[in-house]
Chain A
Amino acid sequence: MRIFDPHIHMTSRTTDDYEAMRDAGVRALVEPAFWLGQPRTNVGSFVDYFDSLLGWERFRAAQFGIAHHCALALNPKEANDPRCAEVLDVLPRYLAKDGVVAVGEVGYDSMTPEEDDAFARQLELALRHDLPVLVHTPHRDKQAGTQRTLDVVRESGLAPHRVLVDHLNETTVKMVADAGCWMGFSVYPDTKMDEERMVALLAEYGTERMLVNSAADWGRSDPLKTRKTGLAMLDAGFEESDVDTVLWRNPVEFYGQSGRLALEAVAAGAVDAATGSSVLRGER
């Protein structure tokens, strides 16, 4: 089983996770920029974070044979803090980088006017930089938030196939399917989706435009949920090629629209990965 996790926050994870992911079949991933748990207080904090997603984290993933890409944005929660909103002026410089395959996560948290503004401006940046968009849907008031998300996307002029609407569930999937956007599902230990419900949605809606992610971060989450969902699909009678469509071909097709996917794991540079680095701590 080859796996592309289209949404996972590796800066919050350990090398044990990288090792387990590699063993489970994960060969590529996209790490979208998000909230750090601890609120940021200034733009510099974002800049260091973006650097980390494009530098150190990419390097770390390469040590384990995993191609790391990222999506960059001002997340909806921090769009409400005027000390952070100015990061939108720095963002264009970063959207030009190799390794950036989408604008994201953008969208709504509390559906404030500030969030409206940041969302619209970043959709415009996506158009200008010819990048697809990863949209987060809110935890609270999810249905209204998802509907408003789709309205804003329609008004932006972005084609629906350039947009992935994430964290969907039974109550929000249909409107996104009808809008023609890609549908993302985060499979979590407790909240959001679980494997069985995910399989049921795949049985109902088919595999087209459907993506499954672990959205693993610093909270209780499991970076192997992608594989577990694949196994649940097989148990439920899906073919291996269906699993490959959901866990590999769909994310490759969606993020491939950036023209910047590099799926051979990034070479580790001056050093043979087998001979050691500061991540692997020497001999293996």
Chain B
Amino acid sequence: MTFDLGYGTNGFANHRLDDALAVIADLGYTAVALTLDHHHLDPFAADVVKQTDRLAARLHELGLRVVVETGARYLLDPRRKHHPTLVSSDQEVRIDFLMRAKQIAVALGADCVSFWSGVGSADAWDHLKSGVAAVLESGPSVPIGLEPEPGMVVERLDQALRLRAELGNPDLLRITLDVGHCVAVEPQDAAACIRQAGDLLVNVQLDDMLPRVHEHLEFGEGQLDLPATLAALTDIGYTGVAAVELPRHSHAAPDVAARALRALRAARWLADAERAVRADPGVIDTLFPAAGRAVGAGQDAARVRLLTAFADVSDDPVDGVTRLYRYGTSAERRGVLRGLAEMGDRAPAAGVALVEDALRSNETDLVAAALGPFATRHLGRHAWRHGVLKCLFMGIPLTVVDGLDRHSDAELLRMVAAFADERRAAGRPVPADALALLGKAS
């Protein structure tokens, strides 16, 4: 059994809850992270019990697993975002809300209720602790997941674990991890955080992020290693919900959710493929070609990862990589050439043979991919200069050439100048890239 991919309803803030659930299920998600809010199952509504029962039936009908989230912005106080929290002086309002959330979770058959600490000073630690203890004691017994949230009293995993330890490691107090937050504030990557949380992980939120910037981004826009993150979830045997958390993308929710699922499926495929190659390097023969269909736009990067995994475990990586190139389509060959930058240094002679083969071709993609960092390091200077000149002939922008400025020499400039003269003599235009290279030298 594996984990369920879901989407957070706080990313569908402009949809009716029923509509949001239908869109999420239709896209192919099998879970939903339900943020209780004034328009999405208001826990303070007079008929909340009836609404909850109806929602439970709807979730069942759509085949959606559920976790309950409590991060609504203005549910408790219309003027102050997120207020009050467990570190506020009036924390009892929050405790009451979380108790209601636990009741709803039971009625929905949810895995857990997720919550965070709140913004405040470190002095509030004991106050927070007693608040968490009160949440654990009140209402039905449901796992609650403490989520480290950037800028809050508990913003890193180690703090959440310390708080839990100080409370005597209560069984029902678990961890919710937002993998984007890991990129933003943790000293280790998301995969390492997942391994550290291990069995305590009860809920996962998925999004991309940049270091030190708490802004939820679509996958690929930040620095999260999504395949490695999903692989870590599989490694620890996680079987809960992992739901996309993009609360500021509601304006385009259906499209964003569709893109996110495509990225997740591609990343999951890649994570599984890397694992398969590490277990049995021979399977790269079928996975390397399939990466194009499975991953789409990110296929070059995916193939580089497969090659790296292969080179790590294969008895004869040189022969294997050479065969992948030999029997590869243009896209596969491009993948091999890009991969040389990562793993080519282990057998430079074999890599150079492939680069030379690509430079003999007349496919712009292959010529461009051949002139990466590996060629800069290992290709003979004569062949490298001819590669650069070939780019000018074929109209390939010289930006594809790694380290062009550092490695330009008098001989290259002589060749380029002669090429420019030849073009002028024929009354044909000289490529701007050639003029720019000559201009820098003069």
Contact = CB atoms under 8 A, between A and B. Distances in A.
A279 B364 CA distance: 10
B331 A98 contact: yes
A13 B332 CA distance: 26
Given A269-B368, A270-B400, A93 B363 contact: no
B289 A275 contact: no
B428 A96 contact: no
B329 interface: yes
Contacts of B363: 55-56, 59, 269
Given A98-B289, A278-B362, A270 B397 contact: yes
Contacts of A96: 286, 289-290
Interface string A13-54: 000000000000000000000000000000000010001001
A220 interface: no
Interface of B: 285-286, 289-290, 292-293, 327, 329-333, 361-365, 367-369, 393-397, 400, 428-429
Given A279-B362, A283-B429, A55 B329 contact: yes
Contact of B395 (A55, A94, A97, A271): A271
Nearest to A278: B362
A200 B393 CA distance: 51
A156 to B, nearest CB: 23
A276 B395 contact: yes
Contacts of B361: 56
A276 B293 contact: no
A282 B362 CA distance: 13
A55 B429 CA distance: 30
Given A93-B327, A94-B327, A277 B365 contact: no
A206 interface: no
A276 B329 contact: no
B288 to A, nearest CB: 9
B329 A271 contact: no
Interface string A262-277: 0000001111100111
A283 to B, nearest CB: 7
Contacts of B365: 59, 268-270
B330 A58 contact: yes
Interface string A44-75: 00010001001110110000000000000000
Given A54-B330, A56-B361, 7 more contacts: A47-B327, A98-B293, A99-B329, A269-B364, A270-B397, A276-B394, A277-B362
A278 B367 CA distance: 11
